[in-house]
Amino acid sequence: MTRNPLEWLAETLLSITSIPILAMMVHVTADVVLKYTVKMPIQGTLEISAYYYMVSIVVLPMALIELTRQSIAVDLFYQMMGPRLQVVVTGIVLLVSTIGYCGLAAATFPDALLSLEKREIVMGTINIYIWPSRFIMPAALFMAGLVCFYHFIRLVISPAARTQLTAIHQIDS
């Protein structure tokens, strides 16, 4: 079975997310151990955790969450709708999600470019360049938007996809 490029990219982003998770775990543990055993904490742990690890962990998996349609859904009235109305509502949600994700990506990208231009740093006990981390969010948000748009196109042109995308929220009885 061939996977489409969006599936591959979303799964790759999820795999990449394991790197900052493990790095943060090792980094923070080493910082605590060194701080309390030899009184030499690792400088910049808080800043690196906040600007690199946490941002990556939160936003990189978003595309896969959208691809697998596992985001939080409130379908109080959705179950009471007919199949055609469910398709319309699903399409509206996918379009709004596409616009939202891409809009956030477009809003954060200029900030990332400005940060790059300034070679932005955060000053703590040591100076840490944070401009590279500013590109994580717009890239991940744009990818999530592409996935939502991909689902929307599938919803419009494929009856099988329409059934699949609307059946995701059906309650198993």
Tell whether the model's pLDDT for residue 164 goes beyond 80.
yes
Mean per-residue pLDDT for 9-38? 92
Q: For residue 2, what pLDDT band results from cuts at 50, 70 and 90?
A: low
What is the pTM for the complete model shown? 0.83
Lowest mean pLDDT among 43-57, 61-75, 101-115: 61-75
Q: Percent of the chain beyond pLDDT 90? A: 61
pLDDT at site 163: 87
pLDDT (tens digit, 9 = 90+) per residue, 132-144? 999 999 999 999 9
Task: Find all residues with CB under 8 Å of 61, minimum gap 6, and list them.
Answer: 13, 14, 17
For residue 152, the tally of other CB atoms under 10 A from its CB is: 20
- CA 69 – CA 97 distance, rounded (Å): 12
- CA 95 – CA 89 distance, rounded (Å): 10
Tell whether the model's pLDDT for residue 125 goes beyond 60.
yes
SS3 (DSSP) at 130: coil
pLDDT at site 172: 47
pLDDT at site 115: 94
> Residue 143 in contact with residue 5, Cβ under 8 Å?
no
The residue that leads in pLDDT, 78 or 18, is: 18
